[in-house]
Amino acid sequence: MKTSLGAKTAAYPTPVFVVGTYDEKERPNVMTVAWGGICCSDPPCVSIALRKATYTYSNLEERKAFTISIPSTDQLEAADYFGIASGRDEDKFATVGLTPARSELVDAPYVEEFPLVLECRLVRAEELGRHTLFVGEILDVKIDDACLDDEGKPDIERLRPFGWAPLENQYYAMGQKLGRGFSVGKVFEQKGS
């Protein structure tokens, strides 16, 4: 039996994207968003949804560029803080003791200490209601060398990302491998053919 929860923003998992932008005075800002995700393979694109009231919204409209820095579990408190405070009032980097790095590809800063970074140029903005959906083309992805395995491939167990559960308002860990994509389902292939 299923119970109705009503019309809610429910999903598991949602990402924890730390969005970096510059303001009009060239000050770096970051804001954490959970509304977003990859939205195209070619060109590679990612979406983020922002309320108009956010400082990031106006920065993004002006600069047409943003980064997404993805935190490791160790950096949970800083990432959460970036979703509480506003860049209008303070330098969030300074508050949490992290370093803004200038992207060489787009007009936006990222969090140097966070293990994965996407550098994006704004390609689309769609007003949906309380949030506007921004689509960015991913021009490059950068990863900490410490998060690569011995063969030089990204290793989730070293990167240790985490997600958020909107229904519970909880961050939760991830990392235990369950199986390969487009592979574990092949147990059904004989039945299907």
Report the site for a copy of itself in 87-126 (rule: CB under 8 A).
Answer: 89-90, 92, 95-96, 116-118, 123-124, 126
Which residue has 């903005």 as its token pair?
Answer: 125
> In terms of CB distance, is 8 or 25 closer to a copy of itself?
8
Which residue has 């936006």 as its token pair?
Answer: 108
> In terms of CB distance, is 63 or 143 closer to a copy of itself?
143
Is residue 152 within a helix (H) or strand (E), and if so which, with residue range?
A: none
Contact 136, 120 (CB under 8 A): yes
Determine if 31 is a binding residue for a copy of itself (CB under 8 A).
Answer: no
Q: 3: how many CB neighbours lie within 10 A of its CB?
A: 4
> In terms of CB distance, is 17 or 22 closer to a copy of itself?
17
Q: Which of 55, 83, 42 is nearest to 166 (CA)?
A: 83
SS3 32: strand
Select the span of 23-31, 55-63, 171-179 touching a copy of itself (CB under 8 A): 171-179
Q: What track of x and - describes contact with a copy of itself for positions 44 through 83 (by CB under 8 A)?
A: xxxx-x------------------x-x--x--xxxxxxxx
Sites for a copy of itself among residues 130-169 (CB under 8 A): 130-131, 133, 135, 137-145, 148, 152-156, 159, 161-169
- Please state, in angstroms and rounded to a whole number, the distance separating the CA atoms of residues 105 and 180: 33
